[in-house]
Amino acid sequence: MPLRDFKPDHYSSLLEAKTRLVREPFTQFTALEPAIFPSEPSHYRMRAEFRIRHIDNVPHYVMFRKEDPREAHIITRFDIACEPIAAVMQPLRELIAASDELSRRLFQVDFLSGQCGEVLVTLIYHRPLGDAWQAEAETLMQQLPILLIGRSRKQKIVLEQDFVTESLHADGKHFQFRHYENSFTQPNAKVNEAMISWACEQVSSASGDLLELYCGCGNFTIPLSRYFSRVLATEISKTSVRAAQENSALNGVDNIDVVRLSAEEISAALKGVRPFRRLAHLNLDAFDLKTVFVDPPRAGLDDFTRDMVCEFDQILYISCNPQTLLRDLNHLCQNHHIKSLAFFDQFPYTTHMECGVFLQRSTL
């Protein structure tokens, strides 16, 4: 998002205009009006990544515009970031600038935070990091309220921990999550809470068990598990599988089975096409899977997964790309109808809109 588009005073009218544009193509599938969930106008983003440009040997945060990717724009203020990140950015830059060991060949700084206020900073270098860097980094951590990681090629130094603990209030309950550095997390915490609450509302009267694809760290899995006897959740990232298992324990949830399988692999397993060693501890026949939840990447569902999803009575679909969701609905709505539609403004001041649909199998 170009920073020139950041206009908090105009947020409501900008959201209204964006909603009209996104809503129109959905009219071919439903006459339902979408529920709209706005963002905070500022300080809403829990992640931020900046390249570093050294000017007269002084490091500066910079960003690049799509229309001119070679021109670096120095960032001195970033009110898009949540307040803990925004508050620490410039003091951190000044302390790095005062240390040759910390600034030398530094080319990127990543920030990760949450509503608990922890800030995890990753400093990324074009050189190996040694004992001198670690000593300077430990001194830096004593001066600022941050957690720190150093990265370079094939190297990762974690000074204390490589995650922040996030606290989310959704569906009338508090949840805690470990969000790990360099893995996917929802960037807008307040909108994420609204997404979770909306998703839980859709399945509040569901029966049987839930299959979830692309479960990530368990962001939706854990709150949704309250409405099902059992949840079978799949994810292909080892870090996310570990996080989902840890987060289940952290929240005292014991009816979730997280397995590291792709959507195609779990479909083959459910149909008995082939066995998988990673499922050896589970009896798939014991699951009563009637509802499926998908939150795919921007590419949406592949052909194989789309066909599998159609076999379920209820489909809960969160999409980060309205265009691929509309493409998938052309297939899903052949045998299902939309019971609920929602728009979530995860990324204010952009054309991007997160969408949610809940579909029920149609009866003749």
Q: pLDDT tens digits for 49-103? A: 999 999 999 999 999 877 777 788 899 999 999 999 999 999 999 999 999 999 9
Q: Look up 136 and say whether it is catalytic.
A: no
Q: What is the mean pLDDT of residues 226-239?
A: 95
Specify the domain boundaries for CATH 3.40.50.150 within the chain.
3-41+186-361
From the CB of residue 66, how many other CB atoms can be counted at a distance below 10 Å? 6
User: For all residues of the chain together, what is the average pLDDT?
Assistant: 94
β-pair partners for 234: 259
Nearest alpha carbon to residue 153 among 120, 113, 105, 185: 105
| pLDDT (0 to 100) of residue 180 | 96
Whether 184 shows a pLDDT value over 60: the answer reads yes
Please say whether the beta carbons of 122 and 151 come within 8 A.
yes
DSSP 3-state of 185 = coil
Please say whether the beta carbons of 261 and 244 come within 8 A.
no
Q: Indicate which residue of 82, 166, 354, 355 is catalytic.
A: 354
Whether 3 shows a pLDDT value over 80: the answer reads no
Task: Mention the CATH class of domain 47-164.
Answer: mainly beta
Whether 1 shows a pLDDT value over 70: the answer reads no
DSSP state letters, 336-359: EEEEEEEEE-SSTTSS--EEEEEE
| pLDDT (0 to 100) of residue 2 | 62
Q: What is the mean pLDDT of residues 251-279?
A: 88
Nearest alpha carbon to residue 28 among 327, 359, 300: 327
Whether 21 shows a pLDDT value over 90: the answer reads yes
Q: Look up 24 and say whether it is catalytic.
A: no
Whether pTM exceeds 0.75: yes
Report the C-alpha gap between 179 and 302 in whole angstroms.
Answer: 27
How many residues are given for the chain?
Answer: 364
Q: Exposed (0-12), middle (13-18) or buried (19+): which is 38, by Cβ within 10 Å?
A: middle
Q: Indicate which residue of 82, 200, 217, 320 is catalytic.
A: 320
CATH of domain 3-41+186-361: 3.40.50.150
Q: What is the mean pLDDT of residues 148-153?
A: 97
Map tokens 């195609």 to a residue: 264
Please say whether the beta carbons of 109 and 121 come within 8 A.
yes
β-pair partners for 60: 53
Specify the domain boundaries for CATH 2.40.50.1070 within the chain.
47-164
Report the C-alpha gap between 353 and 24 in whole angstroms.
Answer: 13
DSSP 3-state of 122 = strand
**Alpha carbon 144 to its chain's center:** 27
